Amino acid sequence: MPQPIRIGIIGAGGIARSAHIPSYQSYGQDVEVIAVANHNKDKAVECAEEFSIPHAYEDEQQMLEEQELDAVSICTPNKFHASQAIAALQAGCHVLCEKPPAMTVEEVEKMTLEAEKVGKFLTYGFHFRFQPEVETLKKYIDGHELGEIYAAQTHYNRRRGIPGWGVFTNKELQGGGTLIDNGVHMLDTALYLMGYPEPKTVLGATYQKIGQRPGVGLMGEWDYENFSVEDMARGMITFENGSSLMFESTFAANVEELSSKKVSVIGDEGGADLFPLKIFQEKYDTLVDTTPAYVEKRDANEYLIHDFIECILHNKQPLSSPSEGVRIQQIIQALYESAKTGEAVNIN
């Protein structure tokens, strides 16, 4: 691997500027952000100036052809993830694609096949896996302290947290709302802790009850006139190994807390809640709860991006794998389909 690792960014918006570019740049001299592409050239130029990036492009294909890049971050709306990830892989780059993986299972399978074909890494922006409490709980699970995990539940609810910026409420560009924006982080965290079992059946329900009218915007004033996604998603997933998962997420709902997120996993030797971490066990003829005395404060996005670099430098597989990308997209797609038909969807 020639030094430094040459990075390209596709999409010069919120997540690129707040997480990807600063995290690559904070890694040190082994990494250089060489170029940024945005379909609105002015945004690309403005971003390049702000972060002292040498090259700005309107067309990502031109960037991929002209710059010898080692890796690319895909930071565009979900509609463009698949085509841009595939183009970057074909240009010989490792790819870190923002979540959710793409719009459909078919797209994610194509991305996966391309990564296998060219022998490059394809990974996703599931940064909650790098939260210290998630890492600790994973160690407990891998150390068999909870036994067999057979049930889990998760929610990521906001009372009035519809994003007032970007395209998060645009179904055509994003493919959905709360399920694939905030909810998908908790879904991935639960699946990761369960060992990403193979999904069997998905029953889902989605609602659009609040987003299409004006209201108290705790994440800015949302565009209620063009709100075309779900503001609540719920589901139950069963897995081939017999385990099951209950899911809920909201952009907006009439609930007490302004924002709350939780993952609970239940095993036959112990259970645990996350955010905050608490472990429940039966030991020495009594019931005990364990909580960490100290939780490190960290920027999980920065950890994810630094880990991506380490994987490239040391040729090790990133934490979030292409096959997991396919599995989570299968669940997302089945949940939306089930919500539409009212019937449970069998996967496979």
Among the candidate windows 6-14, 103-111, 268-276, 311-319, which touches ligand NAD by CB under 6 A?
Answer: 6-14
Q: CB of 19: closest distance to ligand NAD in angstroms?
A: 7
Task: Give the Cα separation of 55 and 23 in Å (integer).
Answer: 18
* 327 interacts with ligand NAD by CB under 6 A: no
Applying the rule CB under 6 A, the residues between 171 and 230 that interact with ligand NAD are none
Q: Which stretch binds ligand NAD (CB under 6 A): 14-22, 27-35, 267-275, 321-329?
A: 14-22
CB 60 within 8 A of CB 37: yes
Measured from the CB atom, the residue of 35 and 266 that comes closer to ligand NAD is: 35
Which span (38-46, 225-233, 239-247, 253-261) binds ligand NAD, by CB under 6 A?
38-46
What binding mask, one character per residue, do residues 51-80 give for ligand NAD by CB under 6 A, x or -?
---------x--------------xxxx-x
Shortest distance, CB of residue 121 to ligand NAD, whole angstroms?
17
Closer CB to ligand NAD, 141 or 332, in the complex: 332
> What is the pattern of x (binds ligand NAD, CB under 6 A) and - over residues 143-172?
-----------------------xx-----
Provide, rounded to whole angstroms, the least separation between the CB of residue 13 and ligand NAD: 2
Burial code of 30-54, b = ≥16 C-beta within 10 A, e = fewer? ebbbbbbbbeeeebbbbbbeebebe
Q: Which of 4, 13, 92, 132 binds ligand NAD (CB under 6 A)?
A: 13
User: Minimum CB separation from ligand NAD for residue 180, in Å?
Assistant: 7
Is residue 127 near ligand NAD by the rule CB under 6 A? yes
Residue 131 structure tokens? 């939260």
Tell me how far, at minimum, the Cβ of 131 lies from ligand NAD, in Å: 12
Q: Which of 22, 39, 151, 207 binds ligand NAD (CB under 6 A)?
A: 39
Q: Kindly tell me which of 78 and 281 has the beta carbon lying closer to ligand NAD.
A: 78
Q: Which helix (H) or strand (E) holds 183?
A: none
Residue 176 to residues 25, 74, 81, 100, 112: CA-CA distances in angstroms? 32, 18, 14, 10, 22
Report the SS3 class of residue 7: strand
The dihedrals phi and psi of 149, each to the nearest 5 degrees, come to -80, 115
Long-range contacts made by residues 313-319, C-beta under 8 angstroms, separation at least 24?
313/1, 313/5, 313/30, 317/121, 318/96, 318/121, 318/123, 319/123, 319/126, 319/129, 319/130
Q: Are 306 and 23 in contact (CB under 8 A)?
A: yes
Among 3, 26, 40, 341, binds ligand NAD (CB under 6 A): 40
- The residue among 205, 186, 202, 277 whose CA lies nearest residue 244 is 202
Strand order from edge to edge, sheet including 149-158: 286-290, 278-283, 270-274, 259-267, 149-158, 244-250, 232-239, 199-207, 345-346
**Nearest position to ligand NAD, beta carbon:** 13
Token readout for 223 is: 């565009």
Phi, psi of 19 (to 5 degrees): -125, -60
Query: Which is closer to ligand NAD, CB of 38 or CB of 333?
Result: 38
Give the Cα separation of 120 and 308 in Å (integer): 12
Q: Name which position in 5, 7, 12, 331 contacts ligand NAD (CB under 6 A).
A: 12
Q: How far is the CB of 167 from ligand NAD (least distance, A)?
A: 5
Residues engaged in binding ligand NAD (CB under 6 A): 10-16, 37-40, 43, 60, 75-78, 80, 98-99, 125, 127, 166-167
